[in-house]
Each structure stands twice: as C-alpha cells, then as structure tokens.
Chains A and B, each alone.
Chain A
Amino acid sequence: MKRKVNIDREKPSAEEIRSRKDFQSVLKEYSATAGSGVSSKPFLKSTGFLIGALISLVAAIAVLSYSKFSSKTTGSSVVSESKQDLSPEGVVQVPISQDEQSGTRKIIAPPLKNVDVPFQEYKLNASKGGEFTSKNGSTIHVPQNAFADAQGNILQGEVDLRFREFRDPVDFFVSGIPMSYDSAGKKYQFESGGMVEVTGYKDSKPIQIASGKKVDVRLMSVSSGRSYNLYKLDTASGNWVYIGKDVAREKTKAEIRKQPAAEIKKNDTRQFESRPEIVEIDKKLEEAVQLRDKAIAQLQALPSAPLKPQKANPMRHRFNIDVDSAEFPEMKQYKSMVFEVGTEPENKEFSSDMYKTTWDDIQLAEGSKKGINYCLTLKKGLETKKVIVYPVFVGKEYQAALKNFNSRSEAYNSLKDQNTENEKKIRRDCDSRLADLKRQREKKEAAWKEEQNVLSASKQHSALADSLTGSPLEREVVRSFSLSHFGIYNCDCPIALPAGAEISIRVTDEAGKDLGSASLYLVDKKINGLFKYYSKAYTSFQFDPGSKNMAWTVVGGKMYVIREMEFSKLHTSGQDVLHMTAINREFKDAAEIRSFLGI
C-alpha cells in the first residue's frame, strides 16, 4: 500500500488547536441526534425497544459464548503468540526502560536535602467541618462529614488537614514537583497561578474526601490572569490531568490588609544585604574596623602625665609622709614631697594638736580632685581624723621638682605626639580601606537598585499593558476551586519554551570543570514558572535574551548558579558555556534561597 509521506510537517500551534475547540457545537449536535433516537435517548422508551432487546439478547448470548471460549483459550492464545514472536534467528530483543519495568518512577523528588515547602497542619472535627486560613491568606473550607476512611466510611472526631502552597519558582524548585505538561504529544511548561497540596490524616492514617463532598480552596495567587486551567497531578504517572478552570477574582483591599506583612514585603533591601558579595564586603568592613582598633590599642602605652609640682605655702601646716610609690605612681617622680593641709571646709577639725599625738595608723587615699589632692586618715584607737592634703615642695626642693617635671613633660609630650601621629596614620589607612570597600558596596547597591527599578518599571509597563487588555499582572487574585480528592492541584497555563535564543550549552563550575548531567533550572523573571532542562536537552537550550534570566543546578547536594548579569552575556545562537558559581552554604528553607537568589 503506497501512502503519502510528509517529513517534519508543521504542526498546528496549541492556540490554533484550542481555538478550534467547540464543545457547544458538539453538544448541540449530540442533542439533535439524541432527540432523533440515534443514541443516548433512554432506549426503553423507544419503539425499537423490543427488536433492540431481542438483538441485544442474541448479542449477549454471543458475547457470553465468546467469553467462555476466550477464558478457556486465553492461555493457549498467549502461548501461540509467544511462539509466533520467536524469529527463526532467535528471540527478538525487547529493551525495556527501567521506569517501564518498575513503574515506580519517583515523580516528586526535592533536589535539595532537608529543604522543602512545609505543610501547614490544621486539626478539625470531621463531623463539623471548618474553615482555615493559611499563612498566605488562602482559605480552605471543609463541609460537615467531608472525610472518609479508605473503605469509604464517613469519619467522625478529630482529623488532621495538611495544606501547603507553592507560589513561585523557588517553591516549585525545592518541592521537586514536575512543572511540565504533555498535551497531544507536545511538551509545555507551566506558568503557574499557584499550586497547592492538600492531604488529610486520622490517627496518622491517610483519609480521603468522602464521595459527593467537596473541599473548597480559595487560593491567594501572586500571578494574575482571570482564569487559569486547573490540573491535578497524577503522582503515580507524573501526568497533570486537566480538571477544569479555576474561578479568579481580584483580592479586595480588606483581604490585602489582612495579609501577613511578610508577604507584602517583596524586593526589600534584605535581598540586597544577603547577596554573597555584599555579605563578603560587610565582613571585610567589620574586619577593617577591628584591625584599626587593635592597631591603635597596640600603640606604646603612655605613662601617667607628669604633675606640675606645687610650691608650699609657708602659712599652712604640712605632713611628712613616706608614700608607697607603687600605690601612688604619680608621686614616684618626686622626692622630698610634703603634704600641705588644704583650705577645704572638711579640714575645719584640723588643729596643730594632731602633731602631738602618736597615731597608730596613717592612710592616704585619692581625694576629690584626682591627682591633685588626697585624703589623709589618721587613726588611734577608736579616734579617726580625716584631712584633705595637697602634695607640695619646699624651697630648693621645689626648683628640683620643677626641673624634673619639665624634663618629664618633654618626654611625655614627645611620646604622646608620636602616638597621636601613629594613630592618625592607622586611622588614615583604615579609612582608605573602608572608603574603598564602601565604594564597592555603593556601586553594587546602585546596580541592584537600578535592576530593581528596571524590574519595577517592567512590571509597571506590563501592568499597564495588561490593564489595557483587562488582565493585570502583579495584582493579587483569589483563585477558587473545589476538590473532590486530596492531592496536588495547579492553577496553570501551559506555555512553550522561552523564545529568542537557542544554543548548545556546556555547564561548568567557575574553574571550567564540567558539572556532569545534572538538570538545569531556568527562571525567566517574566514568568512565574520554572523551566527544567535535562542534560540531554543541553543541545537546544532556549531562553529569551530580552528577559531577566538566571539558572541554577544542583550537583552533589550543592547549588551552582549563574545570575542575571553573567546570563545576559550568553550567546543567542551557536554554543556557549554556562559558568556556574558554587553556593557554599546550606539553605534551611525556601525563604533563604529566595532571598539569596533575589527572587
């Protein structure tokens, strides 16, 4: 039989196929034919019932006879087929992929150890039902008697409802949930309007939504779009099954006000502060200050400043005291020093009779004017006398002390000047280093702000464009849908790969070492989705060069990233190498990754 052969015939686009969908016409025609008794009209009411019943009876007998025959002969039939399948040369080789053999391909595989989107858990009375609000403001409404056990028995008592939301590319990434959709043999990626997983347990055993019951979800979505398709993930096969369409409406101001503050804060400066290059600069800034302080502290310690000697007042009383220079080092430099009684009111008890007493104990302590005066305490038995005294010199002792003071002052001032000069130099060096680091930081901050402004302008532009078409971007909407089964649901729009550039890539680390065959995750910031490239698709790596792109991969549990700046330098055709920077840190959760990557 000769047939016409086409090679690489152009296929109709998904849009064209979708545009030709017209269920109403099919339904209309169905109704017309049903009305004429051609098909699904209740057959018992038709005039042909008796004849039909007779034919059916004959057919039933025939089918029954065939079934009996088949059941008896099935085994021999299989054997017969097996014999036929052996070619004269031997057994035909039938390679079977491992996945097809096991049938247990792991559909959901979080790529990072210990990082996943956590469940929020709610306890409720199954008989009463209830309504819960998630951290992001989404609500789940459970009607009364909505749950059943595996056998379908309606449950009572407390059950655990577990709920988690996936809102952006980082959530999609860490969850490991496939974001591709196969439609009519073509592969699409999902642009997500939000994804949820809802499960339930009673006494740690999985439960199900009871037959005929619906759990209503109102999902707070960050992606606008009036209505997305709703898909459910078949976790056994990895297929997304089309369920219908969600119902989307814009969030009210009240709902936005209720929204947790953390969600509203987007693109704040924390994203900038947590960038690795900024963390590094901040660390160097801190180190520079610490080094400066340490160097200043290590400058030669200045001795106590020399005290200018005071000449004794011949009109005042004096004490000769043998001072311990270890206790009063400021006095060490002076010999022949005496202590003159001060004129303070505290000294009103002083009298020359004190000289006549042999005191048991004499103590000297610092006075109210540090380094200038002292408190002399005289003790005998229970009697104690206190006198404020001043160190002074008498006669030629004063001249000697003054000379000594001048000499010491000169040395002291010289050392002080030297220290001051050294400290100034240390500070100058440090300030220069700090200024250099701050300039680097400011430059990066300016670039980041510009990036944010461009992003913001782009969003505004898109929002403006969308407002003209009635589909505003970045306006939050509530997406409503009902679940009759637990599982993972996705409000999505299948989209094709980004267009504009298609290159063959190699993926390496910064040193140029090949990173092997790990999957590559591409984020196009115009789209709330995640494009995943297996290494076999590296030969046709597609991206939109006009968009803000970044990509990352995971090798041996470690993330490697190529950021927007480097990504923008990639060729748009031919071949190129993606030099990925290793991220030398372990992330605790999706929020850390989001912050680190600036998503």
Chain B
Amino acid sequence: MCSSSNSTMQAVTINQPMEFISKHHASSEAMLEEWEEIKVAKADPAKFEVLYDRYYERIFSFVYQRLEDKELAFDTASQVFLKAMQSLHKYEFRGLPFASWLFRIAKSEVYQLFRDQKAERTVNIDKVSLKGMSDEIAEDIYEPYFDVLKESIAELEEDDLQLVEMRFFEKRSFKEIGEILHITENNSKVKVYRILDKLKKILISKKKNG
C-alpha cells in the first residue's frame, strides 16, 4: 500500500500546464476550516499533529532547497515546527494561509543558520525549471549560456534569489510569494520580472561578446 519508487518522482509534468498555477493556494473556506484546527491545537498541542502532517513535506522541501546538507534540512524542518508550536498562541487568523506563516518561520530558521555560519547557502536548480525560466525571459538557452544563466542566478542578491527560487524552482504563485515575503502580490510580480529583465540583459551581453 502506498508504495512508490524513487524513479518515478521526477515526473512532475503530469496534470500541470506550463503556466504557474500554484498548488499552495488555499481558498477562504479552506483557511477558515484550518483556523478551526489551529484553535483546537492552541488548546491542545497534541492536536497540532494534523497541521504537522499536512505541511511537513512542504516545509522540508523549502528548507532543503536552500541547504546542502540533507540531515541538517530534516533537523531544521523539525525546528520550524517546534518554533511554530511555541509561537502558536500568538498566531491570529488575518486572512492569510497558515502555510505562509510556517514558511516565514522556515525562512527565518534557514537564514539564522547562514548567519551563524552553520550552513552554506546552496542554490538548487533543475534544468526543467531553468528552461521554463528561459521561456519567460524569451531567450533560448544554448549550452554556453546555460552556464551563464546558472552563474547569474547564483550571484543574484539574496532577495532576488529568493524570488527566483520561489517563483521558478518552487513554482509558487505571486500571491503566495507576497504572503511569505510580506509584500504585495503585484510587487512580487514586478520584482520577479525586473530580475528576469536583468538576467536577459546579462545573457544578451554575453552573447554579443561571444
């Protein structure tokens, strides 16, 4: 029961159009239902388990996307949930998904690792997403420029890198990016396309210079 093999995990294209329709979104109704679960968990921490089960994989993936060490990523994911439980009494529903709150905690934990020099900032790029990104830039990536784009991404300012990671490698909607980064949806769109514009100029410049 419930078996799946590693070899099939790469197949993410099924049922997924190329446009980004984030699966992380939650409707108002779902958020309100979840708020009831949170209230129950506030009264009884053991009831937090349903939220833990729901978000564990997503939080781990968020953390591991930014770290090199898998074991550290597992530890950090656990730490995120511990912090969430410890702060749950302060959590109030303000019309935003609970997941965004967890991602903000995760982001905070990961950057604390970098500040404490306990972890090396890692950028994990998959070629399929990179291709999708090049489609948005409207530039075909030939083999030499693949490395240019990869290096350019790795050298982005941290804030820009976060946006690229969330949008293209984690396939989040602008709305969700805004919710996690505490900026407006429109602002997240504008920022992302400014970064793409920047990368496009780098690619054009490299092409011109051979």
Contact = CB atoms under 8 A, between A and B. Distances in A.
Given A26-B85, A184-B58, A187-B14, A1 B19 contact: no
A47 interface: no
B12 A187 contact: yes
A232 B27 CA distance: 12
Interface string A489-531: 0000111111100000000000000000000000000000001
B14 A23 contact: no
A141 interface: no
B121 A3 contact: yes
Nearest to B28: A236
A97 B21 contact: yes
Contact of A499 (B5, B14, B17, B19): B5
A30 B85 contact: yes
Given A5-B150, A92-B194, A239-B25, A12 B70 contact: yes
A533 interface: yes
A573 to B, nearest CB: 14
A282 B204 CA distance: 69
Contacts of B136: 95
A16 to B, nearest CB: 8
Contacts of A13: 4-6, 9
A234 B30 contact: yes
A87 B197 contact: yes
Contact of A238 (B23, B70, B122, B175): B23
B78 interface: yes
Contacts of B28: 236
A185 interface: yes
Interface of B: 1-9, 11-21, 23-30, 33-34, 36, 45-46, 48-50, 52-54, 56-58, 60-61, 64, 68, 70, 74, 77-78, 81-82, 85-89, 120-127, 136, 150-151, 153-155, 157-158, 161, 170-171, 173-175, 184, 187, 189-191, 193-194, 197
Nearest to A22: B78
A17 B193 contact: no
Nearest to B27: A236
Among B26, B30, B161, B197, find the residue whose CB has the most chain A CB atoms closer than 10 A. Answer: B30
B101 to A, nearest CB: 15
Given A189-B14, A471-B1, A499-B8, A17 B21 contact: no
5 contacts: A40-B45, A81-B187, A484-B33, A496-B8, A534-B15
A552 B21 CA distance: 25
Given A97-B19, A186-B9, A237-B25, A1 B30 contact: no
Contacts of B58: 183-185
A2 B58 CA distance: 26
A238 B26 CA distance: 9
B193 A94 contact: yes
Given A5-B154, A6-B124, A18 B57 contact: yes
A522 to B, nearest CB: 10
A20 B86 contact: no
Interface residues of A, number: 88
Given A3-B123, A7-B150, A244 B50 contact: yes
Contact of A185 (B56, B61, B194): B61
A532 B1 contact: no
B103 to A, nearest CB: 12
Contact of B154 (A2, A471, A497): A2
Closest CB pairs A-B (n = 5)? A236-B27, A182-B23, A39-B86, A496-B8, A184-B57
A267 interface: no
Nearest to B87: A39
Interface string A20-44: 1111011101110110001110000
B156 to A, nearest CB: 9
A461 to B, nearest CB: 16
B35 to A, nearest CB: 12
B71 to A, nearest CB: 9
B3 A85 contact: no
Interface in A295-325: none
Contacts of B23: 182, 237-239
Contact of A239 (B4, B12, B26): B26
Given A13-B6, A183-B58, A242-B53, A20 B74 contact: yes
A173 to B, nearest CB: 14
Nearest to B195: A92
A243 interface: yes
Given A17-B56, A93-B193, A94-B193, A1 B158 contact: yes
Contacts of B3: 15, 495
Contacts of B151: 5
B52 A185 contact: no
B30 A236 contact: yes
Nearest to B58: A184
Among B46, B187, B189, B190, find the residue whose CB has the most chain A CB atoms closer than 10 A. Answer: B190
Interface stretch (A154-162, A348-356, A416-424, A536-544): A536-544
A277 to B, nearest CB: 31
A100 B171 contact: no
Nearest to A20: B74
Contacts of A493: 1-2
Contacts of A39: 85-87, 89
A542 B61 contact: no
A243 B1 CA distance: 19
